[in-house]
Amino acid sequence: MRDAEPLIETMAGQLRGLLAARGIAEPMLVGIHTGGVWIAERLRQRLGIAAPLGQLDISFYRDDFSRIGVSRQVRPSELPFDIDGRHLVLVDDVLNTGRTVRAALNELFDYGRPASVLLAVLVDRGGRQLPIEADVIGARLKLMADQEVQLTGPEPLQLVIQQTTP
Amino acid sequence: MSATSIQLDPQGRLLHFLTVEGLTRRHLTDILDTAESLRGVAERRVKKLPTLHGKTVVNLFFEASTRTRTTFELAAKRLSADVLNLNIATSSAVKGESLLDTLRNIEAMQCDMFVVRHEQSGAAEFMARHVKPHIAVLNAGDGRHAHPTQAMLDVFTIRRHKPDFPHLRVAIVGDILHSRVARSLIHALNILGAGEIRVVAPRTLLPTQVETLGARVFHDPGQGLRDVDVVVMLRLQKERMERALLPSEQEFFQRYGLTEERLALARPDVIVMHPGPINRGVEIDSRVADGPRSVILEQVTNGIAVRMAIMSITLGNHARPAGGTV
């Protein structure tokens, strides 16, 4: 069990610097359900971003539909702004294979054509199967293949590392 | 095995959607929640999800229908499936091909889902029993038996306006006897725990033992519509008149037609529904059909999201090997 707030503070610092370096004054934050939305909301408050939060549920964009079907906890995706020409920050809790981010990018582009997309994650646990990297990383974790890291929340936000049942 | 059990796998997941009868509240709320998350797709620039990319859906319509077929077609296309529309009423059925032969022929075209409408009760269930295991069958209306996707879009529409089901009062008015819509809707409302379901119709248009479906019977709309939250008007088929179950359209309208005056008996925030197509001046007055209480066109819109949900859930469950892990 590990408190996630200090990691979010780290993310906020990195993101602030990155946005300044790129001259992005009004970024739009988009969280991936569920953990990504919790983190994005905290980043939005810390960075004082006025624009509302976007939320993505990538269930219908997953590449493993033909193996596992539709998730029971699917939620509506909501982007309460026009993303055309805007600078987006995509936020997720754990970056592993990169498949979730691939699905999220595909979904984003069905809403419009953003000027740029940055990726911010709480935890990068390696394990990539696609050419995807994060721009902002709260922590890098080295985990065994049979270990799993999960974010529990929304209050308090905590990272839990568990053995997966074989 | 009944239609209820053939549509579920050993883990109780939906493989086909033939009837709402015998399903659990969890099955129905899963469909409704999934549909809720699919509703926004129509407002996006790209009104399409990649979920059923590479799948082929066949609309097998042995009975004419424009609206139902169109919304099934749109639902499949918005999930990126390829769609084939076959109106068999005008082709092989006339040539005497059996249902099983038709099925085998279309199966040979490597399809993944059959959407079946047929004038015979049990036709979709028959298909589900005989298709190859990777194919999902959806019932788009079979005889007088069931029209489960219509029932789901109806309860979806009701839930969006009146989420408090335990205190909900629904009146279903008109030709209950011949209505697969009414039968499926009564089952769905009961499964979801609706407070009170009423059927309002003359004796000649009610099935025997209608009470066993779980509905209160009223012959007089003056009583049946009192204080209801939802009025569902059913389409009156003209051919019923010819078979002398009814005196005339005019008399039906006078006794049962939904007018502003009758609607005033219901709760002030009542919603008016109809599965379409409506017969203006027969079961419903134009002022009501086009009025502020009517959600008839919203039902059509919701039908697309609800059918998308049912398609993605059933085909998704086919994909998953029984007993497999996520």
* A74: nearest CB among B34, B315, B319: B34
Interface test with A, best of B39, B51, B80 (most A CBs within 10 A): B51
For domain B148-300, give the CATH number: 3.40.50.1370
In chain A, the domains with their CATH numbers are 2-61+77-163 (3.40.50.2020)
The full length of chain B comes to 326
Phi-psi category of residue A41: left, alpha or beta, with phi > 0 → left and psi -120 to 50 → alpha: alpha
Residue B1 is predicted with a pLDDT of 60
pTM: 0.92
Average pLDDT over residues B273-293: 96
Count contacts between A and B (CB, < 8 Å).
59
Rounded alpha-carbon distances, angstroms, from residue B189 to B37, B97, B186, B193, B207: 21, 38, 5, 6, 18
On whether the CB atoms of residues B284 and B257 are closer than 8 A, the answer is: yes
Tally: H helices and E strands in chain B: 14, 9
On whether the CB atoms of residues B150 and B176 are closer than 8 A, the answer is: no
Instruction: Name the pLDDT band for B326 (thresholds 50, 70, 90).
Output: very low
Q: How far is B7 from chain A (nearest CA, A)?
A: 16
Residue B320 is predicted with a pLDDT of 61
Query: Quick one: closest CA in A to B37, which residue?
Result: A76
3-state percent breakdown (helix, strand, coil) of chain B, nearest 5: 45, 15, 40
* B320: nearest CB among A69, A74, A75: A69
Check if B3-146+301-319 and B148-300 are the same fold: yes
Report yes or no for ipTM above 0.90.
no
Look at A60 and B30 and tell me if their CB atoms are within 8 Å. Answer: no
pLDDT, averaged across chain B: 92
On whether the CB atoms of residues B115 and B68 are closer than 8 A, the answer is: no
For domain B3-146+301-319, give the CATH number: 3.40.50.1370
Q: Which residues contact B325 (CB under 8 A, 6 or more apart)?
A: none
Contacts of B43 in chain A (CB under 8 A): none
Q: In what order do the strands lie in the sheet with B271-273?
A: B216-218, B196-200, B169-173, B230-233, B271-273
Interface test with A, best of B45, B53, B311 (most A CBs within 10 A): B45
Asked if A54 is an interface residue toward chain B (Cβ–Cβ < 8 A), one would say no
Look at B44 and A69 and tell me if their CB atoms are within 8 Å. Answer: no
The model's pLDDT over A92-141, given as tens digits with 9 standing for 90+, comes to 999 999 999 999 999 999 999 999 999 999 999 999 999 999 999 999 99
The model's pLDDT over B109-132, given as tens digits with 9 standing for 90+, comes to 899 999 999 999 999 999 999 999
* B45: nearest CB among A61, A72, A110: A110
Domain ranges of chain B: 3-146+301-319, 148-300
Q: How far is A142 from chain B (nearest CA, A)?
A: 23
Residue B258 is predicted with a pLDDT of 97
Alpha-helix residue ranges (DSSP H) falling in B164-220: 180-191
